[in-house]
Amino acid sequence: MSEALSRRDRGIILSALLGVTGLAWLYLLAMPETMAGMELCDAIPDMMMAVPWTPAGFVLTFAMWWVMMLGMMVPSAAPMIMTFATLNRSRRARGQDFVPTSIFAAGYLVAWGGFSVVATLGQWALDRLALLSPMMATTSAVLGGVLVILAGVYQFTPLKQACLRHCRTPFAFVLNHWRDGRVGALRMGLEHGAYCLGCCALLMTLLFVVGVMNLLWVAGIAIFVLAEKLLPGGVWVARAGGVAMLAFGVALLVRG
């Protein structure tokens, strides 16, 4: 009976994660068509044409980034969330406090919400400097090259490796960072989100190089993140990606 319950709970959590990811991608796939059918609209700043930024436009741009981060990052966070749920079930079976897994996941999503605020501010700054195309890619080859090279170099830094190691070892993370109660679970989710940011935030800045609206590149970066976190040779995937980024960045600088 308990084993069946465990399978049921696992199925519910996986279905929820798949649902969040699927809804995020449906939103992203529908967004270009929605914007293409719009005329002048202050609510969506500089997505299809140069219009003034407004509070509503800032909120919608933030929402776009946050939904995009959910679609890209939730799949790679699934093992960590499932590990938290598994240990939580064990604690419940022993009569200890039980915390809904959604609270841990919420902390993770809040961390990426913070990144989305920074990304929105970055987009606003680039727009003010007239450095963004309608597809939200930088029009400066030099700036693009610098961003790609920085992301490539970061792949080899101790900080990147430490954050990646925490993301690749869910059981060790949950055991070493366990905190009781709902606030504790939220803090654990925030901490995992912080490690995930340390691992992947610079990769997300590449969207300003290839185009935030280029969904093929969005999917490609998401697959790369999934590979470096979950594959047995993920550390080497990260390093190979770093080499590719360095080569691409140098090519952009030469062209610029």
pLDDT in tens, 78-127: 999 999 998 888 776 676 778 889 999 999 999 999 999 999 999 999 98
Interatomic CA distance for residues 248 and 145, integer angstroms: 7
Percent of the chain's residues with pLDDT above 90:
66
- DSSP state letter for 60: H
Report the pLDDT value the prediction gives residue 213, as an integer from 0 to 100: 83
Percent of all residues in the chain with a pLDDT value above 70, rounded to a whole number: 88
In angstroms, the CA 189 to CA 132 distance is 34
Q: What does the alpha-carbon distance between residue 85 and residue 156 come to, in Å, rounded to a whole number?
A: 32
Spatial separation of the C-alpha atoms in residues 246 and 159, rounded to whole Å: 18
pLDDT tens-digit map of 221-249: 999 999 999 999 999 999 999 999 999 99
Q: Distance between CA 22 and CA 220 in Å, rounded?
A: 16
pLDDT surpasses 70 at 2:
no
pTM given for the model: 0.86
Q: Phi and psi dihedrals of 107, rounded to 5?
A: -60, -40
Whole-number Å distance between alpha carbons of 227 and 147: 22
Q: Please state the φ and ψ torsions of residue 132, each to the nearest 5 degrees.
A: -120, 140
Q: What is the DSSP letter of 45?
A: T
